[in-house]
Amino acid sequence: MATEVKVPTLGESVTEATVGEWLKQPGDAVSADEPIVSLETDKVAVEVPSPVAGVLSEFTVELGDTVDVGAVIAMVEEGAEGKSSSPAPTSKAKADDAATQSAKEMEKLPDDGGQSAAPSGDAPTMSPAVRRAVLEHGVDPTTIKGTGKDGRLTKEDVLAAAKSKGANAAPAPSPTPSPAPTSAAVKGERREERVKMTRMRQTIAKRLKGAQEEAALLTTFNDCDMTAVIEAREAYKDTFAKKHGIKLGFMSFFAKAAALALKDVPSVNAQIDGDEIVYYDYVDLSVAVSAPNGLVVPVVRSIDQMSFAEIELAIADFGKRAKAGELTMEDMKGGTFTISNGGVFGSLMSTPIINPPQSAVLGLHRIEDRPVAVNGEVVIRPMMYLALSYDHRIIDGREAVTALKIMKEAIEDPMRMLIDL
């Protein structure tokens, strides 16, 4: 009996998604609750499991199609037996289908000179990010032991296997001179490639443009002496890591400093809702992190009530799950204030854009030694530029400058965060 696979409820206000990747192919055996397709929503990738055990008989939609919640996307023959591995095709049609699918997957990756090899054997179920890593590094997923939930592979498992494979490989013999390949013979060749925007990238573009058009955006800057924080990290890093199992990073300091400032300047933690202003007595911090499909902003709830260790653990968990494509809609919901750290990519200064409906965002940048005047003398200090972009419709310049100054002073004198100054 054929069972329909339908698009599940995707989250509050999310009514449709895009078919991003088929994790199983027609004829493959599937277990109950085993993911068979990855759907891209406005915020995260969602894996849709098979409702029953059996054989995936057909797709009812194509890769890249937009599907509504409740739509039928595939059919599963309940109780049937299918292929659990990847045997040789039994017909020309199957061979052509396999070749076409492989070509589509490889087109998404940069040209590596033909060194990558497709995985073989009884491949385990993998998330989109893990499948991309497997294809990119040319490793066999069946030979890798997964460290994720229920023994599933993670991106880190694949990268470790690729590194081990490279270290164990024998050095290649010196190549003998040969004519240059045809592709290199044409110098100055101009190419272009068209790639359809993912649903997440389309949403990012729409939201950021909407923020520019609707909000009265303005940015105020300050610089911050990082000496005290660096010294504190150096003094307590080993003890902190031993006790809490996580490194003491900069983000927890800035999160606590931001919470301190937002309590003193409530408008920076407020939002406009129609003709009303909503003030929050808690701080739900949105932390911008990189994911395979773009920038995502998971939310750390009630960060003003958390310890440094709890903040570091929460942010590290979000970063790991974002890279593995495992964030959920609930992780992205809400948020009253955002911190974006462009410094990890080398940014010296920027004007971050607010994350609507929030009214402000703090931009962090790289730390660099610069000459500054201290007590009438020029000294070299590790300095960072801070940028606070805000919606001038709700936040006055005095309030924005005051909030950023409180953050600066808390970082330069961390004791302020302990005694609530």
Cα 375 to chain centroid, rounded: 44
Q: What angle do CA 328, 8, 158 make, to 5 degrees?
A: 45
CB distance 391 to 359 below 8 Å: yes
Catalytic residue IDs? 392, 396
- 40 contacts 200 by C-beta, under 8 angstroms: yes
Report how far residue 48's alpha carbon sits from residue 36's, in angstroms, rounded to the nearest whole number.
Answer: 6
- What are the boundaries of each domain within the chain? 2-166, 212-418
Q: Which is nearest to 126 in space by CA: 91, 150, 95?
A: 150
Burial of residue 416, with CB atoms counted within 10 A of its CB: 0-12 exposed, 13-18 middle, 19 or more buried: middle
Secondary structure of residue 286 in the 3-state scheme:
strand
CA angle 250, 255, 260 (to 5 degrees): 130
Q: In this structure, what DSSP letter does residue 28 have?
A: B
Query: Residue-wise pLDDT tens for the chain (421 aa)?
Result: 788 888 887 765 567 778 877 888 888 888 888 888 888 776 677 788 888 888 888 888 888 788 888 888 888 887 666 555 444 344 444 444 444 444 444 444 444 333 333 333 445 666 656 776 777 777 777 788 777 656 777 777 788 888 777 655 545 444 545 455 545 556 778 888 888 777 777 777 887 788 888 889 999 999 999 999 999 999 999 999 999 999 999 999 999 999 999 999 999 999 999 889 999 999 999 988 877 666 788 899 999 999 999 999 999 998 888 887 777 778 888 899 999 998 888 899 999 999 888 999 999 999 999 999 999 999 999 999 999 999 999 999 999 999 999 999 999 999 888 766 6
CA distance 387 to 320: 26
CA pair distance 421, 411, nearest whole angstrom: 12
**Which of 332, 330, 343 has the alpha carbon at shortest distance from 254?**
343
> Omega of the bond prior to 357 within 30 degrees of 0, cis?
yes
Fold of 2-166: OB fold (Dihydrolipoamide Acetyltransferase, E2P) (2.40.50)
Q: Are 7 and 71 in contact (CB under 8 A)?
A: yes
Edge-to-edge strand ranges of the sheet holding 29-30: 2-6, 72-78, 54-59, 29-30
Question: Is 3.30.559.10 the CATH number for 212-418?
Answer: yes
Residue 244 has φ and ψ, to the nearest 5°, of: -110, -10
Listing DSSP states for 172-199 in one string gives PPPPPP-PPPHHHHSTT-------PPPH
Instruction: Report the C-alpha gap between 360 and 270 in whole angstroms.
Output: 9
CA-based nearest residue to 304, from 287, 271, 282: 282
In 64-103, the DSSP E strands lie at 66-68, 72-78
